[in-house]
Structure 1
Amino acid sequence: MKSPIFSRSSSPLNSHSSISPPLTPRRTFPETIMEENIDYATTIITKWDLDGPTYRKMSSLFGDDRKEAKRFIEGVTGLRNAMHYYLKINSSSEKLIRAQRLMQVAMKRLEKEFYYILSSNRNVLDAESVSRGSTRSSLSDSLEDEVQGDEIIEDGNSISEADKASLMAMADLKSIADCMIGSGYGKECVRIYDLIRKSIIDESLYNLGVEKINPSQIQKMDWNVLEAKIKSWLQAVKIAVKNLFYGERILCDSVFSSSEKIAESCFAEISRDAAINLFGFPENFAKSKKILSPEKMFRALDLYEAISDLWPDIEMIFSYDSLSAVKCQGVASLVKLGESIRVMLTQFELAIQKDSSKSPSTGGVHPLTRYVMNYLVFLGDYSGVMSDTVADWPLNAQTPLPESYFSSPISGGSAIEDPSSAVTVRLAWLILVLLCKLDGKASLYNDVALSYLFLANNLNYVVSKVQNSNLGLLMGSEWISKHESKVKQYTGNYERMGWIKVIMSLPKNPTAEFSLQEVKEIFSLFNSGFEGTYKKQSGWVIPDRKLREEIKLSLAKKIVPSYRVFYEKHRGKIGREFGVESIVRYAPEDLNNYLSDLFFGTEVSTSTKTWSSYETSSESSLSSHRR
């Protein structure tokens, strides 16, 4: 018989009247992992608590120990997972509250690290370094993938110290941004980024000489001061677009690659105001009435060209919808500059038509001709910009002359199909306006021969300027050939009208038999005609050496051979008479010598208008606009 102590009914373990110990709920595997995450996060985060006792010894998490930084980010990631877990199962859990407090400590630390990296790496987060970094393999999410010991390795090759510092800073910023955004602290991260990078953009533009200037301020400026600011802006805008804003866009996209929306918001915040101010300067310049004079056009063209050349970069950098105001400002500046350029072209044409200055008494090149052609040569150098501004600006010329007179044929299409044809027509028209004005000035000479010499000199100058500049490509060979023929026509008329007495004094057949008296009369008429013509024309000018030699050679061919034949055949008839020197005054060789001395007179203008001052200064003043 068994003892009762071993019976089931009397066993203490089975007695319902006995007190059982409390049961501990069994933990699930996920809960175990989450608790471990919190414990791990507690260890690493409290170690770097800004308010903790060890803070002063560990001033830079990412700078002192990069492996420690990796562990810190991992700890925050695990903590975030734990918070999501407890939020689902028990939103009032003590563990959740503990995790939230720990997350606040971690985010406070990361805010400090983010600020420190941004502020201490300004030099290595410049446009060039950032750009080079962006062309390398994309930044990974883990510093461990990028850092091997103390070096960053790419394709087995170490990179420069500057690029290393830049790439590491970008990787750290991205790591922190990803962590903070993922933890719901994106606003705090963005606030720090905007604060520092916006100040860098503003400071950089200030150092480049970019100022905020309104039209009224421009109106009050002395032109020399304003021109200096334009030159400064032209240099600054290229650096600002291609380096500053481009680098900032790359940096922003890299740091906030986890959220395109945040990247857009950040870049828009730091760049919008500065970019609008930068691209607003040309519009403010164009609004000023002070600049609406022909001499100021080249600066307007420079500003237009700068924006136009940079436009593909501008559209790429400021592609976000939130930055449409920047592109609108750029377009507004182009439109306003285009309007101003057209106004200045119109005023330039009117200035030519209204010119009342006198022509040079020597028949040389008029100051108006020099200025206008120098002006047009420089306009030809801006043919690309000009095609944009005049393409849809039809030429409403009131002239009885056909278009072919002032425009060259456009090969390969109509004027509408080829924007450069609009520039050609516009420039050809301005040349025609000049030539018509010169025709009127030539008619004021009392001597018809001098009128033709004046026209030949001036048209030759025009053609020479066209041939030796970009105008030659725009006007075309047909235009040049046509006007070269016109020069020859003018020189022919000059020779015929200016030397008619000399040429007509010689017999048509110098070998014919003449009486002694007839010989004397022929020599006398020739002497009188040659001396009178030479004296009158000794002060006349042909500035162009080639044209001068051509005219001298042509005159010599018309006069000397016929005179030589007559001289050699008939001089002997009067060779023994008294006073023969007074009858036969010139040997054929003498005529060549006299002709060779012609047309070297000094070009003197009696003009009282401003064109005379432009004549001497146009080359230097306009050439200063060349880039």
Structure 2
Amino acid sequence: MDRIPVPVAPLKSSSFSAATTREDKLARNLSLGPIKVNEHIKEARVEKAADSNAGGDEDGAPEEASEPDFATLSAEIDAFLAAHRGGESPPPVSEVTLDKFASAVEQEIAPSEGTEDKWVPEVAGEVPPLLAAIKRIAVLSSALTENQAEGAKYTIGVHRVTGVLHRVMTFVEDEFHALLEDPRVAKTVPGGDTGSATGRSMRRPPSFGHGAEPDRCVIPSSDGGGAGEASPPFPPETVDRLRAMAEAMLAAGYDTECTEVFLVARRNALDASLQSLGYEKPSIDDVVKMPWEALELEVATWIKAFHHTVEVGLPGERDLCARVFAGDREGLGRDIFADLARCTMLHVLNFTEAVALTKRAAEKLFKVLDMYEVIRDVAPVVDAFAGDEATSGGDQQGGGSAAAALADLKYELASVRSRLGESAAAIFCDLESSIRADAGKQPVPGGAVHPLTRYLMNYLKYACEYKNTLEQVFQEYRRPDDDEQHEGGGGAGDPFAAQLMEVMELLHGNLEAKSRLYKDPSLSSIFLMNNGRYMLQKIRGSPEINAVVGEAWSRKRSTDLRQYHKNYQRETWSRVLNLLRDDGVITVKGHVQKPVLKERFKQFNAAMDEIQRTQGAWVVSDEQLQSELRVSIAAVIVPAYRSFLGRFAQHFTAGRQTEKYVKLSGEDLEAIIEELFDGNAVSMPRRRM
């Protein structure tokens, strides 16, 4: 039904206070001077009195007729409307009757302000009196204005009726808005209190579609009612009142106002429920400038708010729309819900857009993936909304609009998800750049595990807990050169696995380059052993990353570790073992060359002192690797030294000579080896046999 045209735009009033006269109210609504209006009404009354006295006693004073009541006026108006609907010539109705009927409607509605049962029928199943009065004046206004010739007969009456109708609609809008925003508000509070319908109406925009194209995504004011509290459910009696108010507005042709009041009020209520969860909807600029620690907390709050919106808020709103706009208004209810869902979700999704715009950083990956997963997982819920629309109302009035709004929402969800996935893939790929950029020239003291190794392996381990999501992300955002780059490799069908292996290989190469920073080849081998063992431990300790890396890579790294161990043994202990061998220099023709023997003991003691001093400061943090190294060293050196002592120690004179050259027993050597790689550098103490 088209909106009823109002010849003169009336001022919007929020109550039917008796503080002014009826003529003053009329003058205010029509923007006419009170004298001019009163003159028109008086002229109409005089004409009617003259007509009624024609043919009567001209000398007698006219007897003043009693004022007709609302029922009598309604019957007269109903007769006029019935004839008008039937295409017959309607019985004449005077300007005075129209004026009195409009005044009667005002008087009917005025006591309703501040009462709870104004929308409740007096008899079950019947139309509430207030709704009947509003419908009657709405139909009358339409009948008087739809035909210019007919409306020309009732110039003053048209202004009077449409003015009252507009004030009635303002009153209904306020009531409708207040009850929609908070179902606990059952009655208004006179005097402009913020709890009244009038007070609450001030929270919404001052106009709902007057003189402008209606906005399908109305942004509510920030101070909507009920802030910080979850939206309470609507009891059946409240829904009945809302349905009656909506029916009144729609019957009067105020479809746009009804729709936008509903949207704004429910958006305010949804925003209040999100605020109660701690979500304040920061602007894009705020998000972009926010430090990561604060943004991380905002993302966690957003995830909670988003779940609440999709799983609690929107299903509740869909149910409310279906109950308020039932029957032949079902299509309008679906349209309203579709717009509400789209607008609410788009405002919440603005946050994800802002996060995707922030500067990429490795630590943001996991929160971006969390947001990606949330949006991915709600897609079936939105699909269900759209599916219900397609099956239950797509062919009915309004169904096409609702389907378009929900299709738009689905597109926006897919678009936001795409941007988040693209951001996640880019962040993960940036690990390559961070490894290549780490070209420090200072070796880690003691050959310990490098900080880059610790960071990356823990990062990759955590990333593999998102293995399924990252596989999906990389499948969707595969780079064009990925297939060529990994052609024939194990990662050709799994770009995420291929990317992770690329990172692992880069890290391995980076560590080998860093090992060359050590001047001592033995320490270089210790460094590679430490880092290689750490990488293997992380892989084998995580089923997720182990599944991605695979056994072949782990076996290759284990082989590398054994080679590093051999390199260390060769560089450090082969030279020591050579000092304990009789290579034909110590014993010549069966005679021990004491000078050579003395030199060998001196060299051995010096070598062990150097090893204890330097390698005692080296670090092997993994206890198992530390134990393996010590056992392997002792297994080679201690037996060789005991054998050497057994053969040559007696060739020294007991006493000072023996103490000078034979400084260590087999037990002393074992004790020295047990103190290696614990980070404590000490010099070899002098021990006695």
Q: What TM-score do you get using the length of structure 1 for normalisation?
A: 0.66
Match of 2:446 among 362, 378, 383: 362
In the other structure, the counterpart of 1:234 is: 303
SS of the counterpart of 1:72? coil
SS of the counterpart of 1:209? coil
Match of 2:410 among 313, 318, 327: 327
- 1:187, distance to aligned residue in structure 2 (A): 5.6
- 1:458, distance to aligned residue in structure 2 (A): 0.9
SS of the counterpart of 1:599? coil
- 1:520, distance to aligned residue in structure 2 (A): 4.9
Question: CA–CA distance in 2 between the matches of 1:195 and 1:359?
Answer: 63
- 1:426, distance to aligned residue in structure 2 (A): 1.3
- Pairing 1:59–2:127 present: no
SS of the counterpart of 1:543? coil
- The one-character-per-residue Cα deviations of 1:334-369 (angstroms, maximum 9, x if unpaired) are 222333333333433112112221221311111222
- Taking the TM superposition and a 5 Å limit, the aligned residue runs for 1:287-326 are 287-288=357-358, 291-317=359-385, 320-326=403-409
In the other structure, the counterpart of 1:600 is: 678
In the other structure, the counterpart of 1:340 is: 423
- Contact 2:429–2:499 (8 Å) recurs in 1: no
In the other structure, the counterpart of 1:142 is: none
**Using CA pairs below 8 Å that are at least 6 residues apart, which structure has the higher relative contact order?**
1
- Taking the TM superposition and a 5 Å limit, the aligned residue runs for 1:149-548 are 166-170=235-239, 173=242, 189-205=258-274, 208-211=278-281, 213-214=283-284, 218-258=287-327, 259-288=329-358, 291-317=359-385, 320-357=403-440, 358-391=442-475, 392-394=477-479, 416=493, 421-469=494-542, 470-507=544-581, 515-517=591-593, 520=598, 523-548=601-626
- Contact 1:210–1:233 (8 Å) recurs in 2: no
- 1:188, distance to aligned residue in structure 2 (A): 6.0
- Contact 1:452–1:490 (8 Å) recurs in 2: yes
- 1:422, distance to aligned residue in structure 2 (A): 2.6
Question: CA–CA distance in 1 between the matches of 2:436 and 2:676?
Answer: 33
The residue type paired with residue 232 of structure 1 is T
- 1:279, distance to aligned residue in structure 2 (A): 0.9
- 1:551, distance to aligned residue in structure 2 (A): 1.0
Match of 2:127 among 59, 62, 72: 72
Question: CA–CA distance in 2 between the matches of 1:546 and 1:476?
Answer: 23
Greater shift after overlay, 471-480 or 180-189?
A: 180-189
Question: CA–CA distance in 2 between the matches of 1:275 and 1:396?
Answer: 36
- Contact 1:287–1:336 (8 Å) recurs in 2: no
In structure 2, the CA distance between the partners of 1:464 and 1:183, relative to structure 1 (3 Å rule), is same
The residue type paired with residue 264 of structure 1 is R
Question: CA–CA distance in 1 between the matches of 2:484 and 2:668?
Answer: 49
In structure 2, the CA distance between the partners of 1:396 and 1:195, relative to structure 1 (3 Å rule), is closer
SS of the counterpart of 2:473? helix
- The one-character-per-residue Cα deviations of 1:388-409 (angstroms, maximum 9, x if unpaired) are 32224259589999976xx58x
The residue type paired with residue 550 of structure 2 is G
- Contact 1:201–1:271 (8 Å) recurs in 2: no
- Taking the TM superposition and a 5 Å limit, the aligned residue runs for 1:96-111 are none
SS of the counterpart of 2:613? helix
Q: What TM-score do you get using the length of structure 2 for normalisation?
A: 0.60
Question: CA–CA distance in 2 between the matches of 1:567 and 1:221?
Answer: 71
- 1:173, distance to aligned residue in structure 2 (A): 4.3
- The one-character-per-residue Cα deviations of 1:528-556 (angstroms, maximum 9, x if unpaired) are 33233333322211121221111111111
The residue type paired with residue 506 of structure 1 is L
- 1:305, distance to aligned residue in structure 2 (A): 3.0
- The one-character-per-residue Cα deviations of 1:249-308 (angstroms, maximum 9, x if unpaired) are 2322343343442122211333433321211222233234xx123344344333323322
- The one-character-per-residue Cα deviations of 1:69-91 (angstroms, maximum 9, x if unpaired) are 543369989x99xx99xxxxxx9
- 1:455, distance to aligned residue in structure 2 (A): 0.8
- Contact 1:502–1:526 (8 Å) recurs in 2: yes
SS of the counterpart of 2:518? coil
In structure 2, the CA distance between the partners of 1:497 and 1:485, relative to structure 1 (3 Å rule), is same
Question: CA–CA distance in 2 between the matches of 1:552 and 1:534?
Answer: 13
In structure 2, the CA distance between the partners of 1:496 and 1:249, relative to structure 1 (3 Å rule), is farther
- The one-character-per-residue Cα deviations of 1:387-435 (angstroms, maximum 9, x if unpaired) are 232224259589999976xx58xxxxxx53xxxx332221121011011
In the other structure, the counterpart of 1:18 is: none
- Contact 1:516–1:574 (8 Å) recurs in 2: no
- Contact 1:386–1:423 (8 Å) recurs in 2: yes
- Contact 2:270–2:313 (8 Å) recurs in 1: yes
- 1:121, distance to aligned residue in structure 2 (A): 1.5
- Pairing 1:550–2:612 present: no
Question: CA–CA distance in 2 between the matches of 1:270 and 1:69?
Answer: 33
The residue type paired with residue 406 of structure 2 is L
- 1:559, distance to aligned residue in structure 2 (A): 1.4
Question: CA–CA distance in 1 between the matches of 2:550 and 2:240?
Answer: 58
Unaligned runs of 5+ in 1: 1-34, 40-45, 85-90, 93-100, 125-161, 409-414, 604-627
Question: CA–CA distance in 2 between the matches of 1:246 and 1:164?
Answer: 12
- 1:460, distance to aligned residue in structure 2 (A): 1.2
Count how many residue pairs are aligned between Structure 1 and Structure 2. 499
- Taking the TM superposition and a 5 Å limit, the aligned residue runs for 1:571-590 are 571-574=649-652, 576=654, 578-590=656-668
In structure 2, the CA distance between the partners of 1:120 and 1:212, relative to structure 1 (3 Å rule), is closer
The residue type paired with residue 447 of structure 2 is G
- 1:237, distance to aligned residue in structure 2 (A): 2.0
- Contact 2:177–2:261 (8 Å) recurs in 1: yes
Cα RMSD over matched residues? 4.9
- The one-character-per-residue Cα deviations of 1:585-622 (angstroms, maximum 9, x if unpaired) are 2111111211111111179xxxxxxxxxxxxxxxxxxx
Question: CA–CA distance in 2 between the matches of 1:53 and 1:398?
Answer: 75
Question: CA–CA distance in 2 between the matches of 1:336 and 1:225?
Answer: 22
- The one-character-per-residue Cα deviations of 1:86-108 (angstroms, maximum 9, x if unpaired) are xxxxx99xxxxxxxx9xx99x97
- The one-character-per-residue Cα deviations of 1:191-248 (angstroms, maximum 9, x if unpaired) are 5423421322344445543436235x54444445544543433332222222223322
In structure 2, the CA distance between the partners of 1:165 and 1:568, relative to structure 1 (3 Å rule), is same
- Contact 2:529–2:564 (8 Å) recurs in 1: yes
